[in-house]
Amino acid sequence: NDLKKDSRGALIVLEGLDRCGKTSQSARLLSSLEGLRYSVESWRFPDRTGVGLMISSYLSNQSQLDDHAIHLLFSANRWEKRSLMEAKLMSGTTLIVDRYSYSGVAFSSAKGLDFQWCKVKKKNEVGLLAPDLVFYLDISLEKAAERGGYGGERYEQLEFQKKVAESYKKLTDASWKEKVTYGSPSCFSEIPATVEEKEAAVMSVNEASLIEK
Ligand code: NYM
């Protein structure tokens, strides 16, 4: 009950290629922040419930969908969770989110969809909650491919991931923090720095900010 809940929680997003280590690093960030008595939850997109059931079936090659249609389903999947995310943030809970709108752009544009059409600031994402902090977990294509092997789901091929990496490069801006995941047990080992970053993000805004044009 002595959880740090005075201000709103921060929306922290982790992005990167498939097999870049987001799952492990989310877990580490979660336990570090819990250890510091923050109220914190770990989320991921796609959330494989609701619209996410269709997404999951598409990703496991059990169904076919037009590239634009699946792009919009990924977006709808974020909209489905928007009000719950806002409620959590406003009640002081920090959310660590594994993939968000940037994955939407990076993966769809890697398939050949027009980058401008997919962009985060296009209408279908405008009004979703804007992250306070985005971590890009950087890993070489080869190292990512070595991990557990690709092939389980759609998109998990070296050539495709190469295009995804190029799309991410176009999306990255100065506010993103890069973390190298390969070879270090935790890229969040200097967690106090992350907490300072979190507090800076929280102090500057009271309401959760939105993705805008
Ligand atoms: N993906 C994820 C997209 O193509 N668009 C999106 O908007 C999101 C959130 O889903 N290969 C892709 C990236 C991944 C796949 O994600 C499943 P994960 O993190 O493996 O569950």
Q: What is the pLDDT along the chain (213 residues), one digit of tens a residue?
A: 456 655 788 899 999 999 998 998 899 889 888 888 889 999 999 999 999 999 999 999 999 999 999 999 999 999 999 999 999 999 999 999 999 999 999 999 999 999 999 998 888 999 999 998 899 999 889 888 888 767 789 999 999 999 999 999 999 988 888 887 766 556 665 454 555 565 554 444 456 778 875
How many whole angstroms separate alpha carbon 57 and alpha carbon 155? Answer: 14
Residue nearest to atom 5 of ligand 1 (CA): 104
- Is 208 inside any structural domain? yes
How remote is the CA of residue 84 from the centroid of ligand 1, in Å? Answer: 20
* Torsion angles phi and psi, residue 137, rounded to 5: -85, 110
- The CATH number for 135's domain is 3.40.50.300
| pLDDT on residue 166 | 96
- Is 57 inside any structural domain? yes
Residue nearest to atom 10 of ligand 1 (CA): 46
How remote is the CA of residue 67 from the centroid of ligand 1, in Å? Answer: 13
- Is 98 inside any structural domain? yes
- Return the ligand 1 atom nearest residue 155 CA: 11
Residue nearest to atom 14 of ligand 1 (CA): 18
- Is 4 inside any structural domain? no
List the one residue out of 73, 84, 105 whose CA is nearest residue 170.
105
How remote is the CA of residue 103 from the centroid of ligand 1, in Å? Answer: 6
Q: Give the pocket of ligand 1 (CB within 6 Å).
A: 18, 45-46, 59, 74, 98-99, 103-104, 107, 155
- Is 3 inside any structural domain? no
75-109: burial string, b at 16+ Cβ within 10 Å, e else? bebbeebeeebbebbeebbbbbbbbbbbbbbbbbb
Alpha carbon distance, N-terminus to C-terminus of the chain: 39
Does the structure's ipTM exceed the value 0.90?
A: yes
Is 20 within 8 Å of 180 (Cβ atoms)? no
- Is 1 inside any structural domain? no
- Is 67 inside any structural domain? yes
- Is 194 inside any structural domain? yes
Residue 109 sits in which domain range?
11-212
Residue to substitute in 24, 85, 103 for testing ligand 1 pocket (most ligand atoms within 8 angstroms of CB): 103
Question: What is the number of alpha carbons within 13 Å of residue 7 lying toward its C-beta?
Answer: 13
Q: How many CB atoms lie within 10 A of CB 128?
A: 20
How remote is the CA of residue 150 from the centroid of ligand 1, in Å? Answer: 14
The residues with which 180 forms a beta bridge, in sequence order, are 138
How many distinct structural domains can be found in the chain? 1
| pLDDT on residue 204 | 44
| pLDDT on residue 205 | 47
How remote is the CA of residue 45 from the centroid of ligand 1, in Å? Answer: 7
